[in-house]
Protein backbone atom coordinates (compact mmCIF):
# COMPACT_ATOMS: atom_id res chain seq x y z
CA UNK A 1 0.00 0.00 0.00
CA UNK A 2 2.85 2.35 0.85
CA UNK A 3 4.47 1.67 -2.52
CA UNK A 4 1.20 2.42 -4.30
CA UNK A 5 0.89 5.84 -2.66
CA UNK A 6 4.52 6.60 -3.48
CA UNK A 7 3.97 5.80 -7.14
CA UNK A 8 0.81 7.92 -7.27
CA UNK A 9 2.60 10.83 -5.60
CA UNK A 10 5.49 10.63 -8.04
CA UNK A 11 3.09 10.55 -10.99
CA UNK A 12 1.25 13.61 -9.70
CA UNK A 13 4.53 15.49 -9.24
CA UNK A 14 5.74 14.60 -12.72
CA UNK A 15 2.48 15.59 -14.38
CA UNK A 16 2.23 18.93 -12.59
CA UNK A 17 5.88 19.84 -13.10
CA UNK A 18 5.78 19.14 -16.84
CA UNK A 19 2.63 21.21 -17.31
CA UNK A 20 4.26 24.18 -15.61
CA UNK A 21 7.28 24.09 -17.89
CA UNK A 22 5.30 23.54 -21.07
CA UNK A 23 3.83 27.05 -21.01
CA UNK A 24 5.68 29.63 -23.05
CA UNK A 25 7.55 32.27 -21.10
CA UNK A 26 6.27 35.66 -22.22
CA UNK A 27 8.62 37.87 -20.24
CA UNK A 28 12.37 37.61 -20.07
CA UNK A 29 12.95 39.93 -17.14
CA UNK A 30 14.37 39.02 -13.75
CA UNK A 31 14.19 41.31 -10.72
CA UNK A 32 16.86 40.93 -8.04
CA UNK A 33 16.47 42.14 -4.46
CA UNK A 34 18.82 44.82 -3.15
CA UNK A 35 19.37 44.86 0.60
CA UNK A 36 22.27 47.28 0.23
CA UNK A 37 24.91 44.84 1.39
CA UNK A 38 28.07 44.44 -0.64
CA UNK A 39 27.75 40.67 -0.71
CA UNK A 40 24.18 40.87 -2.03
CA UNK A 41 25.25 43.30 -4.75
CA UNK A 42 28.10 41.00 -5.75
CA UNK A 43 25.92 37.88 -5.89
CA UNK A 44 23.22 39.74 -7.83
CA UNK A 45 25.84 40.90 -10.35
CA UNK A 46 27.15 37.36 -10.79
CA UNK A 47 23.63 35.91 -11.10
CA UNK A 48 22.69 38.64 -13.58
CA UNK A 49 25.77 37.96 -15.69
CA UNK A 50 25.00 34.24 -15.74
CA UNK A 51 21.35 34.89 -16.62
CA UNK A 52 22.31 37.20 -19.49
CA UNK A 53 25.19 35.24 -20.96
CA UNK A 54 23.97 31.68 -20.53
CA UNK A 55 20.17 31.85 -20.46
CA UNK A 56 19.60 34.93 -22.65
CA UNK A 57 17.69 37.06 -20.15
CA UNK A 58 17.92 40.86 -20.26
Task: Give the pLDDT of residue 28.
Answer: 66
Residues 6+ apart with CB under 8 A from 28: 56, 57, 58
- Can you tell me the mean pLDDT for 14-43? 74
* Global pTM exceeds 0.75: no
Q: Closest Cα partner for 32 from 55, 54, 49?
A: 49
Using alpha carbons, list the distances in angstroms from residue 44 to 16, 33, 53.
Answer: 30, 8, 14
**CA neighbours within 13 Å on the CB side: how many for 52?**
8
Task: Give the pLDDT of residue 2.
Answer: 85
Domain residue ranges of the chain, discontinuous segments joined by + = 25-58
Residue 32 has pLDDT above 70, yes or no: yes
Task: Give the pLDDT of residue 19.
Answer: 56
| Contact call for residues 47 and 32 (beta carbons, < 8 A) | yes
Amino acid sequence: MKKFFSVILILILVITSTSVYSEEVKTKEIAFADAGWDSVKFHNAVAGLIAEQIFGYK
